[in-house]
Amino acid sequence: MFNRIKGPRQLAAITCISLLSGCGLMSSGSPGDTAPIVVGTTSAPSTLDPAASWDGSWELFRNVYQTLVSFPSGASTPTPDAAESCGFTDTSNRVYHCKLRDGMAFSDGDKLDATAVKFSIDRISRIDVKGGPKGLLGSLKSVEVKGDRDITFHLNKPDATFPFVLATPAMSIVDPAEYPADAVREDGKVSGSGPYALGAYTEGDKAELVENTHYKGFADRKNNAVTIRYFKDSASMVGALRAKKIDATFRGLAASDVVGLQGKQAKDGIQLVEGAGMEISYLVFNPQDPWARKSAVRKAVAQVVDRGAIAHKVYQDTVEPLYSMVPRGLTGHTTGFFDDYGDPSTAKARTILARAGITTPVPLTLWYTTDRYGSATGAEFTELKRQLDASGLFRVTVKGRPWKTFEAGYRKGEYPVFGRGWFPDFPDAENFIAPFVGKQNALGTPYTSPEITDQLLPQSRRESDRAAVVGQFRRAQQILVDDVRLLPLWQGKQYIAASDEIAGGERALDPSTIMMMWELHRKTSW
């Protein structure tokens, strides 16, 4: 997840595929039922501290913390949340001012004022977790407060996209009395001001969200409590849904389970909600590795990989091949990898390596996380190994680790080649380019590209009209194709599977496909 942009495209219409009765049923919209709605996911948080996270931990953060601006259901631009109002106060998009709502408080009753906002933003840069969200704040010069409610952000360069930065869960407001100013909080607790408070948390098992009685913001909670259950794989998660041990699932549904829930073999009483497909999967090449650092090796891999086979054999066509880091459906999307490489070809890959004087087979170790992007990830990397080995040009070893140790490993530069997934902060081309370049980026692997970071992105950030910067985004994508430091594989969709007793799933995904748990509720009439 990451970055910014003005005017993202409207989130693609969310459709609901009901396996029993349809989604347009009458529902109470009332939080009178005190039994928690139980939601399953395979995406467990890596941390509870927003200053340390640039990953799927944001799923939890959006519900227990609050940002100055955020995205209500159906919105495509940031709307005041903890703030009463926000906007640029100059014509150059370098001074951004927010006024807090009156009488704001954290879930424990502590006062939430402008000083708390400044504290929360400043500590991100002060702590500077490697691979953490400091990279979001590249345009921020300083934060100024006046009184209890006025916060002004001074930028070091024009950035019409800065409001979208403030809307990311990384910019969550935390209680200065509970969070150290210069270190990550590690006691397993949360002190936020979101629609829910964290009642209890067991790492890797569950998070119990309860009503935050001090909450002031745009969220209209339609339930009193939500329990998030963390599963290791899709099969056990869907099994729990069928057994009515959970009410809904989100993140990590395997292709076979999606197909099963769409097909005739699906059991009555389960509905499938399909959301916009902005998720991408890609490979990262480590420039410090003696083999992955060679341009010819990277290009040969790009020439051999068969994305169509991965999409069909592993994901049963619930994803589609991706030939650019910017997914289809966004303004500026290209198909650069297909344009330059065409169909998979061992002969062409052999020529690339021979011209560089590289003896084959090239030894490569591919790493993936076993519990972050769904249970099909292991099969995906097995298929990648099969393809590369079958060419005779590579000798591939595949290794996997749980997310927390996997993440620590890639931040230390341990992996020659590793797989990552990306869920956007908001749907815009910049959000699929800027996070991955520069000395500090979401991958923890420096990627120096002065033309992108010093020319193309700054030019794009001066423009509110995103159609006016298509040229910059196309050029940036071509640079990514030329370098092959990142190799896009596929573009997916988001699915929510839920009991037919649960309503609100079609409204529960924000533009960055984070689930807003407060939209879920139980139907009371048929």
The pLDDT profile of the chain, 526 residues, written as one tens digit per residue, is 433 333 333 333 333 433 333 343 333 444 555 689 999 998 899 999 999 988 889 999 999 999 999 988 777 788 999 999 999 999 888 999 999 999 999 999 999 999 999 999 999 999 999 878 898 898 999 999 999 999 999 999 988 889 989 999 999 999 999 999 999 999 999 999 999 999 999 999 999 999 999 999 999 999 999 999 999 888 999 999 999 999 999 888 888 888 888 864 455 689 998 876 788 999 999 999 999 999 999 999 999 999 999 999 999 988 999 999 999 888 899 999 999 999 999 999 999 999 999 999 999 999 999 988 877 899 999 999 999 999 999 999 999 999 889 999 998 999 999 999 988 777 678 889 998 999 878 888 889 999 999 999 989 888 767 788 899 999 999 999 999 999 999 998 888 999 999 999 989 988 777 899 999 999 873 3
Beta strands in 134-205 (DSSP E): 140-146, 150-155, 196-202
Could you give the CA distance from residue 322 to residue 148 in angstroms, rounded to a whole number? 48
With the CA atoms of 482, 487, 491 and 495 taken in that order, what torsion angle do they form, in degrees rounded to the nearest 10? -150
- The pLDDT assigned to 265 comes to 47
* Strand duo 486-491 + 280-285: pairing: antiparallel
Q: What is the DSSP letter of 509?
A: B
CA neighbor of 258 nearest in space, from 375, 83, 395, 428: 375
Q: Are 227 and 214 in contact (CB under 8 A)?
A: no
b or e along 82-108 (b: 16 or more beta carbons within 10 Å of the residue's beta carbon)? bbeebebeeeebbbbbbbbbeebbbbe
Q: Are 261 and 509 in contact (CB under 8 A)?
A: no
Q: Is the peptide bond before 361 cis (omega within 30 degrees of 0)?
A: yes
Could you give the CA distance from residue 132 to residue 55 in angstroms, rounded to a whole number? 9
> Based on the number of CB atoms within 10 Å of its own CB, is 136 exposed (0-12), middle (13-18) or buried (19 or more)?
buried
Helices (H), 173-304: 234-242, 255-262, 295-304
